[in-house]
Amino acid sequence: MARLSGSRQDYLKALYALAPQGEVVPTSRLAAHLSVSAPSVTNMLRRLAEEKLVLHKPRGGARLTARGRREAILMVRRHRILETFLVRVLGLDWAEVHADAEVLEHHISDRVLEAIDRVAGRPDFDPHGHPIPDPRGRMQRRTLLPLASLERGARAVVREIRDADGPRMARWRSAGLVPGASVRMREVQRLDDVFELEVAGERFVTGSEGLDGVLVERRGGAGHGR
């Protein structure tokens, strides 16, 4: 079985990112996610379908086959191990490793991946808090909420930071919004789109735009939990 090209790997990864449960994804969503034109997507989907990596109903979108899903999850594993390595071993900045991992994930041999995993300490989570699938493709599944969905008084723990632009991620870090941090929603003004948080004892005021991509796990305590 010939190795998948980098391009194919990215298409599969995108399909998985947009539909982790294997739902159908429209051509246009894929095109937007990958920053390519719609015809390019149609074209590649045809090839991936021939190779039994996706199911492609013309005009009905595409979804991963079991094999495609397996390959996608292996790519997620490679990406996340690389990011962890770049941060923990090479000392690069948390907010700036995504682009390098995005390239290297396609060029690292299994041998090097294994060694990198070892020196990174066989991490279970990447620097943004995302779970790393094991070599067989299994991964914890958690249910997390967007930070902005918390009601006034709720307490939660930050679990994942979605990959975003460097400056925004750097801002979150400087505000203390890193995986593992405890937060409390002090005030919510949905009409004005203003949120006042307490993060590690500090006050942090922001709009919801600035919170997109911070995912939390609700904690008991003084919240309104049911």
Partner DNA sequence: CGTTCTCGTTAGCCTAGACTAAATCACGGA
Partner DNA sequence: TCCGTGATTTAGTCTAGGCTAACGAGAACG
What is the contact surface with DNA in residues (CB under 7 A)? 5-8, 10, 26-28, 31, 35-47, 56, 58-61
Q: How far is the CB of 5 from Mn ion (least distance, A)?
A: 11
Query: CB-wise, 15 or 185, nearer to Mn ion?
Result: 15
DSSP codes, 182-203: EEEEEEEETTTTEEEEEETTEE
The distance of closest approach from Cβ of residue 9 to its own copies in the complex, given in angstroms and rounded to an integer, is 14
Q: Please choose which of DNA, its own copies, Mn ion, none residue 98 contacts, taking the beta carbon within 5 to 8 angstroms, the exact cut-off set by kind.
A: Mn ion
Q: Which of 56, 77, 78, 98 binds Mn ion (CB under 5 A)?
A: 98
Closest CA to 149 of 205, 190, 93, 113: 190
Answer yes or no whether residue 163 interacts with Mn ion by CB under 5 A: yes
Contacted by 66, from its own copies, Mn ion, DNA, none: CB < 5 to 8 Å by type: none
| DSSP letters for 126-177 | -TTSPBPPPTTS-------EEGGGPPTT-EEEEEEE----HHHHHHHHHTT-
Which residues contribute to the site for its own copies (CB under 8 A)?
86, 89-92, 96, 99-100, 103-104, 106-109, 111-112, 115-116, 118-119
Nearer of residues 185 and 215 to Mn ion, judged by Cβ = 215
For 120: left if phi > 0, alpha if psi spans -120 to 50, otherwise beta; the answer is alpha
Closest approach, Cβ 152 to DNA, in A, equals: 37
Residue found by looking up tokens 């996340």 in the block = 80
Question: By CB neighbour count within 10 A (0-12 exposed, 13-18 middle, 19+ buried), where does 85 fall?
Answer: buried
Q: Is 56 in the site for Mn ion (CB under 5 A)?
A: no
- Residue 226's binding partner among DNA, its own copies, Mn ion, none (Cβ under 5 to 8 angstroms by kind) is none
The least CB distance from residue 83 to its own copies, in Å, is 12
Joined tokens for residue 145: 């909420």
Helix/strand/coil for 25: strand
